[in-house]
Chains A and B, each alone.
Chain A
Amino acid sequence: MATMNHVRLLCAVALFAGCVGSESTPGGKPGGTLAISIGGDPDVLIPSLVSTVQAAQMVDLVYDRLADIGDSLNVVGDAGFTPRLADSWTWSPDSLSIAFHINPRAKWHDGQPVRSSDVRFTLQSTRDSTLGTPVAALITNIDSVSTPDSATAVFWFHKRTPQQFYDATYQMPIMPEHIWKGIAPAAWRASEAAKHPIGSGQFRFVRWTPRTAVEVAADSANYRGAPKLARVVWSIAPDFPTALTRFLSGETDFFEVLRPENIPEVMKHPNLRVKTYRSLAYLFAQFNLRDPANHARPHPIFGNRELRRALTMATDRATIVRSVYDTLALPALGPTVRAYPTTDPNIRQIPFDLPRARLILDSLGWRVTRSDGTRSRNGRPLQFTLSVPSTSKVRIRLAVLIQEQLRQAGVKVDIEQLDFRVLVEKERKRAFDAAIGQWNTQPSPGSVRGSWGTPGSHASSGTNYGSYENPVFDAYVDSALASFDPGNARSYFTKAYETIVQDAPAIWLAEPRGIVGYNARVHLAPLRSDAWWAHIPDWWVAAGQNTP
């Protein structure tokens, strides 16, 4: 009948169009689905508030920055940066302002054009104390954004610094003013808009089914062109083993947090591959320097610098790292990574010296009095709780190893496993004793100001959870960041790192390499150290795989 022939014809045309419309790439047509295995939901999909790696991936695909940092991660000036929402920019002669020209074709996913007022709004909200973003402490050099016209956003700076451009672009994916203006910042997290983010990126948000999946789809009308993938889906598993098994069984294509012990397993599958890259992450066991019960007082145990140094001395960090990571991590040097050109790998460390640690503890008055070997002083045992997220087996392993090593020194450590978000809450409220944390740092070594500097301690939204405050450290870091000469910057940073290492506000544990596993059907682009997902728009999977 007529209708049937009509339908058949349409199908044939569709097939034919599929064949003709693709790019000519080797090994199959792109346009497939990339399925990423993750072990937990994102925390929030608002760019300035993101604190989990999962959320960062999703936000970076849906939202755009004015310009993207180059793969070399250069943060001085604008060398290497590629245009995004801003298709060009002009420096003022005195370098106190940069005028960004917004790409006229840039549109939000709801069709509205991207305007300079969006840029100004983003800066203002990122600074809003009621919103409480962790980034606020890092952009203090930016004075304001002015909008001479709807296509030009001018950033004004307090002073010239090497990282002006980086500060203006890296820290702030641009958010749509017309959507967020009407909502009070304090209500942003719980708002409906947070559950359906509208951005300008090459992928548009599709859905977030809690505990099951997050999905974004290609924005074919994007000003930068359509990405090679049709969809990206994050398959959320309740825990690491399930997430890993989904990857191994082929249900998903990509797994980002492979551990060294999983590699032999992955290599057994002929169609799975492993790739390592230099990441910008470091792990540490952080002490709360303030009394959790009363923030005005120092912590009864960790308030004492000598005791913290003794605890560090009692820990054999090199062995712990070898045990947990095999060769895929180095002992951390301090709150930094070796990838920074300003990091000197020969920073003076506190050596592993158990006998000396015991002597120091004795001299501080902590004597071994109890039957189980735990020290005590004035009736108070040398005992504390070490909190770790229950989802991170790596940190649990580190905790158990530390527990046993400190037991040798007469310190009793109780390990507390918590849901990741609950742990972050505890840290924000400074209601913990010690915790094992990990920072995936930014390309700029200046991010240490937020996590270990005094401003990050005072602000309730700051990430200096241990409340380490040393003006000498702050001064060195600020001097380093203000130096245009790389040699000077490096020597200032070295002094800063040595100061904090000797103060021992944390036991610096490991600097792991990033390890990802992927299915051979995924064609990767180079993995950027700070964000392996940065070039996902250039990845592709042959069409037909997991495609609806």
Chain B
Amino acid sequence: MAERVRVKTMSPPGHVRAPHYLRGKTGEIERPLGAYKNPEQLAYGLDAAPKELFRVRFTMAEIWGDRAERAEDTLDAEIYAHWLERL
């Protein structure tokens, strides 16, 4: 069974790589993509440690609620581990 995760709701005022519309939403890990230098550090010209990146799958119902045109359709987003809480 796929691992379920929730996108953190934090909103630090800077260059971040978790879209606002997915924060607080729950999805499942579709696949791990490997580790990449943290773009949130690279953006400021700083040394960046590798961070694990995951492809996370959300249902339209989870993201848009009653506004979803087709609730069972899914959306994949690539999100770094430090933005995810394992459920």
Do A and B truly interact?
no
